[in-house]
């Protein structure tokens, strides 16, 4: 992936942040926050900033690669038929405001996630923290970078390892079983409810491992590639690769090292034996 394309994607992300996201931060009116789905801890919100940012990002990305399809989170929510484009020869996948619930509550973290895929496989990913400006990106077989510097995934070095597990979309029975199996072997910490933050934590020695149940492409395509290219491991619990055109499957493990990934995968497999 050319440095020029990464620079152009970065510029589009900054534009959406400056025009649509930050002007709305802590200034949202009640009618500018809508419940998109769910209730209680499963509630997904959408704000006026999500839609405005997705429009800016879509226009900018279309100029960069006019031949690529575009699958945005809000467009897919409005028309599930958009999911069919995920297997196209080239496809942009856009999360215009990752961490919307945090944003709506007036707190960090929140960011933008963009991935470029080729026939269902992620070939490039970009993760942008709207408040700090941290810019992470990765390209297939090209490494992972933070603010232009190549990075290698580092563990926390803690004993027991640090786990940030997103279990909310599991059934109560499954969640309880996973918690009983996992809790004695890890230091459990809260999730940030923002994949643009959670995946970098696996690379930057803040978390060692993470479990995800819901695996929608806009939440995970960029982050999975970023962790893998940094030398960590992110994959389905059975070891198969994450593909965006297989989004209906549940379950994903990310870890700062292959050994930590395997340890967690073994513990989850015991639940199914």
Residue 156 lies in a domain: no
Average pLDDT over residues 103-115: 98
Instruction: Answer yes or no: do 184 and 69 share one domain.
Output: no
Confidence band of 168 (pLDDT split at 50, 70, 90): confident
- The angle formed by the CA atoms of residues 191, 202 and 270, to the nearest 5 degrees, is 75
The number of folded domains in the chain is 2
3-class DSSP assignment, residue 171: coil
Confidence band of 2 (pLDDT split at 50, 70, 90): confident
Beta-strand runs (E) in 119-258: 121-129, 135-139, 143-146, 149-151, 162-163, 187-188, 209-212, 233-235, 252-255
Q: Which domain holds residue 194?
A: 162-272
Placement of tokens 């993760």 in the chain: 127
pTM: 0.96
Instruction: Answer yes or no: do 97 and 185 share one domain.
Output: no
Which residue, 93, 117, 150, sits at the end of a domain? 150
Instruction: Answer yes or no: do 66 and 196 share one domain.
Output: no
Instruction: Answer yes or no: do 82 and 217 share one domain.
Output: no
- Residue 49 confidence (pLDDT): 98
**Parallel, antiparallel, or unpaired for β 162-163 and 187-188?**
parallel
3-class DSSP assignment, residue 9: helix
Instruction: Answer yes or no: do 128 and 250 share one domain.
Output: no
Q: Which helix (H) or strand (E) holds 228?
A: helix 217-229
Residue 157 lies in a domain: no
For residues 220 and 199, give the distance between their C-alpha atoms in angstroms, rounded to a whole number.
9
40 has a pLDDT exceeding 60 = no
- Residue 106 confidence (pLDDT): 97
37 has a pLDDT exceeding 90 = no
Whichever domain contains 145, its CATH number is 3.30.540.10
Average pLDDT over residues 151-164: 98
- The angle formed by the CA atoms of residues 150, 152 and 154, to the nearest 5 degrees, is 145
Which residue, 92, 125, 150, sits at the end of a domain? 150
What percent of the chain is modeled with pLDDT above 70?
Answer: 98
Residue 45 lies in a domain: yes
Instruction: Answer yes or no: do 107 and 186 share one domain.
Output: no
- Residue 272 confidence (pLDDT): 79
- Residue 41 confidence (pLDDT): 63
- Residue 38 confidence (pLDDT): 61
Inter-CA distances, 178 with 121, 213, 214, 237, 271, Å: 29, 11, 15, 13, 8
Residue 194 lies in a domain: yes
Whichever domain contains 194, its CATH number is 3.40.190.80
| Contact present, 178 and 268 (Cβ < 8 Å) | yes
Instruction: Answer yes or no: do 38 and 143 share one domain.
Output: yes
Residue 93 lies in a domain: yes
Instruction: Answer yes or no: do 117 and 199 share one domain.
Output: no
Terminal Cα distance for the chain, rounded = 42
Based on the number of CB atoms within 10 Å of its own CB, is 93 exposed (0-12), middle (13-18) or buried (19 or more)? buried
Which residue, 93, 120, 150, sits at the end of a domain? 150
- Residue 44 confidence (pLDDT): 85
Instruction: Answer yes or no: do 38 and 116 share one domain.
Output: yes
Residue 113 lies in a domain: yes
Average pLDDT over residues 205-234: 97
Instruction: Answer yes or no: do 102 and 188 share one domain.
Output: no
Instruction: Answer yes or no: do 16 and 42 share one domain.
Output: yes
Residue 15 lies in a domain: yes
Instruction: Answer yes or no: do 135 and 196 share one domain.
Output: no
Residue 219 lies in a domain: yes
């Amino acid at each position: 992936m050319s440095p020029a394309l990464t620079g152009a994607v970065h510029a589009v992300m900054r534009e959406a942040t400056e025009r649509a996201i930050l002007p709305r931060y802590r200034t949202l009116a009640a009618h500018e926050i809508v419940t998109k789905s769910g209730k209680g801890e499963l509630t997904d919100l959408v704000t006026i900033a999500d839609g405005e940012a997705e429009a800016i990002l879509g226009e900018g990305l279309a100029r960069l690669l006019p031949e690529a399809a575009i699958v945005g989170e809000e467009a897919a929510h409005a028309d599930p038929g958009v999911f069919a484009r995920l297997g196209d020869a080239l496809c942009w996948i856009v999360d215009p405001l990752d961490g919307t619930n945090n944003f709506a509550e007036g707190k960090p973290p929140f960011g933008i996630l963009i991935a470029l895929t080729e026939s269902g496989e992620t070939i490039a990913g970009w993760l942008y923290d709207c408040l700090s400006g941290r810019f992470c990106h990765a390209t297939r077989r090209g490494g992972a970078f933070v603010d232009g510097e190549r990075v290698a995934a580092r563990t926390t070095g803690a004993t027991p390892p640090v786990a940030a597990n997103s279990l909310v979309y599991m059934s109560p029975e499954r969640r309880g079983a996973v918690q009983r199996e996992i809790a004695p072997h890890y230091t459990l910490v809260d999730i940030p409810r923002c994949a643009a933050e959670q995946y970098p934590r696996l690379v930057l020695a803040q978390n060692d491992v993470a479990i995800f149940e819901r695996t929608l492409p806009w939440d995970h395509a960029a982050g999975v590639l970023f962790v893998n290219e940094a030398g960590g491991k992110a994959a389905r619990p059975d070891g198969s690769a994450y593909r965006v055109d297989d989004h209906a499957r549940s379950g994903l493990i990310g870890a700062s090292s292959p050994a930590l990934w395997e340890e967690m995968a073994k513990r989850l497999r015991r639940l199914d034996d």
